[in-house]
């Protein structure tokens, strides 16, 4: 975000607040005048570019207190521009609205830590189902060189592991969804029915304390339900941005899986919900 703040930092107080000033192209729903309005505009620019921001980084770059940053993020959340998560905020936009290549870049370090934490759950010789997603793709990268059998509906995961002589890769048939670069449908489910997996590694769109694990599309939800039924050990990988928000489809309850792997402490309501289950929560 360094270049972003340099680009705007030269504006003096009061400049850009008029109808024809440098800051006249205010974003919809944002304050049109004053230092606070321009600061919120900078934060929103960073969110739109990077997908997420942290309180610590914004406080350093804007030379303001962490309390001010948290207040700004709360204001952006109230206006529907951002959603606060542990340590910062993410852009409040459905993941399916973002190109796959962009989703891969957002939170790449967090996804890599989650993948590393989940790696001990897979042993050599296992047959593993891995569904399509950016966090599961990060996990698949950790499997390079491992002697395993992988079934997946993800074109990217299949391509990644196809050149590994240690791995045996099966691509589940089905109808291509370009936005997910993955295969879905009755043919995909038919293959799942024929197997029992040692481990199923899955992503999820949202984790809600009252509604459980949620998705945005019926195809993804049905596929994950089938996978949970056909595996000895079901694992959900979810970074901190997935918690607390609502999806459109309840995929299954919080107690339906064996293990959750995440990168941040759970909020109080989520932690209490998981305390009522037998789910093993692993923090990356």
Confidence of residue 98 (pLDDT cuts 50, 70, 90): low
H or E element at residue 169: strand 168-171
Average pLDDT over residues 70-97: 75
Average pLDDT value for the chain: 83
Give the whole-angstrom CA distance, residue 84 versus residue 166. Answer: 41
Higher pLDDT, 23 or 211: 211
Higher pLDDT, 254 or 266: 254
Q: What pLDDT does 104 receive?
A: 59
H or E element at residue 207: strand 206-208
Q: What pLDDT does 36 receive?
A: 82
Q: What pLDDT does 86 receive?
A: 74
Give the whole-angstrom CA distance, residue 214 versus residue 236. Answer: 12
Give the whole-angstrom CA distance, residue 152 versus residue 181. Answer: 12
Give the whole-angstrom CA distance, residue 242 versus residue 232. Answer: 25
H or E element at residue 30: none
The three-class DSSP label of residue 272 is helix
- Whether the predicted pLDDT of 83 surpasses 80: no
Residue 198, burial from CB neighbour count under 10 angstroms (0-12, 13-18, 19+) = middle
Confidence of residue 77 (pLDDT cuts 50, 70, 90): confident
Give the whole-angstrom CA distance, residue 116 versus residue 239. Answer: 13
Q: What pLDDT does 255 receive?
A: 96
Give the global pTM.
0.69
Q: What pLDDT does 103 receive?
A: 62
Helices marked H in the chain:
2-8, 34-50, 55-62, 66-78, 100-105, 108-118, 134-142, 155-162, 186-193, 218-229, 268-275
Give the whole-angstrom CA distance, residue 5 versus residue 60. Answer: 11
Tens of pLDDT, residues 130-176:
999 999 999 999 999 999 999 999 999 999 999 899 999 999 999 99
Q: What pLDDT does 80 receive?
A: 67
Q: What pLDDT does 9 receive?
A: 34
Q: What pLDDT does 25 receive?
A: 39
- Whether the predicted pLDDT of 187 surpasses 90: yes
Confidence of residue 4 (pLDDT cuts 50, 70, 90): very low
With b meaning 16 or more CB within 10 Å and e meaning fewer, what string describes 169-180? bebbebeebeeb
Q: Taking the mean position of all CA atoms in its chain, how far away is CA 212?
A: 16
- Whether the predicted pLDDT of 245 surpasses 80: no
Q: What pLDDT does 92 receive?
A: 64
Is the C-alpha dihedral spanning 155, 160, 162, 163 positive or negative?
Answer: positive
Sole residue written with tokens 């595996």: 231
Q: Which domains does the chain have, with CATH numbers?
A: 2-93 (1.10.10.10), 97-283 (3.40.50.1360)
Q: What pLDDT does 248 receive?
A: 83
Range name among 48-52, 64-68, 116-120 with the lowest pLDDT average: 48-52
Q: How far lies 250's CA from each of 11, 124, 225, 279, in Å?
A: 47, 33, 10, 18
């Amino acid at each position: 975000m360094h270049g972003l703040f340099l680009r705007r930092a030269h504006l003096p107080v009061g400049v850009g607040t008029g109808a024809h000033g440098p800051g006249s192209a205010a974003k919809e729903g944002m304050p049109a005048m004053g230092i606070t309005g321009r600061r919120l505009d900078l934060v929103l620019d960073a969110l739109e570019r990077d997908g997420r921001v942290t309180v610590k980084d914004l406080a350093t770059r804007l030379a303001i207190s962490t309390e001010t940053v948290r207040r700004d993020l709360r204001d952006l959340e109230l206006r529907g521009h951002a959603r606060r998560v542990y340590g910062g905020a993410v852009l409040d936009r459905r993941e399916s609205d973002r190109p796959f290549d962009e989703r891969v870049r957002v939170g790449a370090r967090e996804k890599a830590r989650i993948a590393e934490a989940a790696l001990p759950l897979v042993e050599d010789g296992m047959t593993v189902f891995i569904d399509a997603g950016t966090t599961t793709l990060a996990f698949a990268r950790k499997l390079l060189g491992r002697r395993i059998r992988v079934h997946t509906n993800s074109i990217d995961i299949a391509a990644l592991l196809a050149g590994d002589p240690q791995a045996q890769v099966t691509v589940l048939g089905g109808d291509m969804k370009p936005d997910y670069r993955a295969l879905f449908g009755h043919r995909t489910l038919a293959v799942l029915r024929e197997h029992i997996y040692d481990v199923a590694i899955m992503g999820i769109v949202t984790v809600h304390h009252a509604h459980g694990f949620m998705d945005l599309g019926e195809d993804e939800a049905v596929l994950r339900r089938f996978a949970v039924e056909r595996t000895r050990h079901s694992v959900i990988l979810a970074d901190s941005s997935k918690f607390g928000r609502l999806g459109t489809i309840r995929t299954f309850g919080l107690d339906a899986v064996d293990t959750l792997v995440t990168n941040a402490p759970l909020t109080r309501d989520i932690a209490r919900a998981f305390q009522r289950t037998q789910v093993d929560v692993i923090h990356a």
